[in-house]
Structure 1
């Protein structure tokens, strides 16, 4: 299993995730919200045996990074942990995530704290502690 990052408009990104982002089953897992990308997005993809098994599109904003509408195959914790760790290691910016309730524990394990609780999601933030550095 490896994690790669691709720019939000990279042709290779479309080749790798098109069948996933249009899959009715995967959209259902995402509460029927569509996946979005812009030039401000970086997509982090977890790949195993040449197959994408998870992805997180992350938007860069003036306030930091924003993550929502992601996919983790079969809600596999190992995939989720790999993606979260990789993203944290690549930035020193604050990260805000709109996490599915079922993934809250995983984000908390990596240092995210709950800010707002919604019916199906938790808005969470990761702010690097003073002295911590991205790898």
Structure 2
């Protein structure tokens, strides 16, 4: 499996994820919340051959890094863990990393060092503390 880092408005990103983010089944899996991207986003996209296995959009804000509306095919927690690790490696520094996790994925993020900040019925807001890059 290959994980590629793409800018939030790159042509390649649109080519890879458009069939998924417009899929009614995947939107239902995301509780009908649409996926979005801007110039302030970076995406990690996992592929195996020609198939997209998942993606994680990350918004870079002035005060924090935000992960929201990710997708992993087949609820693949190993892939989700890899995405979380990539985000930590890429963005650990002077800003905290927040994730709005599906409740069922909280343990995966917890195993990567995220702690719970707020819980809702379907989602959990978690944070990875500021650490110096090694």
TM-score range, shorter chain: over 0.9
The range that moved more, 44-53 or 33-42, is 44-53
Once the two structures are superposed, residues 101-130 of structure 1 have per-residue CA deviations (whole angstroms, 9 ceiling, x without a partner) of: 01000000000000000110000000144x
> Aligned equivalents of 2:130 and 2:43: distance in 1?
21
> Aligned equivalents of 1:91 and 1:123: distance in 2?
18
TM-score by length of 1: 0.93
> Aligned equivalents of 1:127 and 1:3: distance in 2?
24
Match of 2:129 among 99, 114, 127: 127
Runs of 4+ in structure 1 displaced over 6 angstroms?
A: none
Residue 17 of structure 1 pairs with residue 10 of structure 2: no
Deviation of 1:50 after TM superposition, in Å, equals 2.5
> Aligned equivalents of 2:44 and 2:59: distance in 1?
11
> Aligned equivalents of 1:44 and 1:64: distance in 2?
18
Once the two structures are superposed, residues 5-39 of structure 1 have per-residue CA deviations (whole angstroms, 9 ceiling, x without a partner) of: 11111011000000000001100110000000011
SS of 2:91 mapped into structure 1:
coil
Residue 54 of structure 1 pairs with residue 54 of structure 2: yes
> Aligned equivalents of 1:39 and 1:133: distance in 2?
24
TM-score by length of 2: 0.94
Give the structure 2 partner of residue 43 of structure 1: 43
How many pairs align?
Answer: 132
Match of 1:114 among 113, 116, 120: 116
Q: How big is the alpha-carbon RMSD for the aligned residues of Structure 1 and Structure 2?
A: 1.1
> Aligned equivalents of 1:87 and 1:67: distance in 2?
9
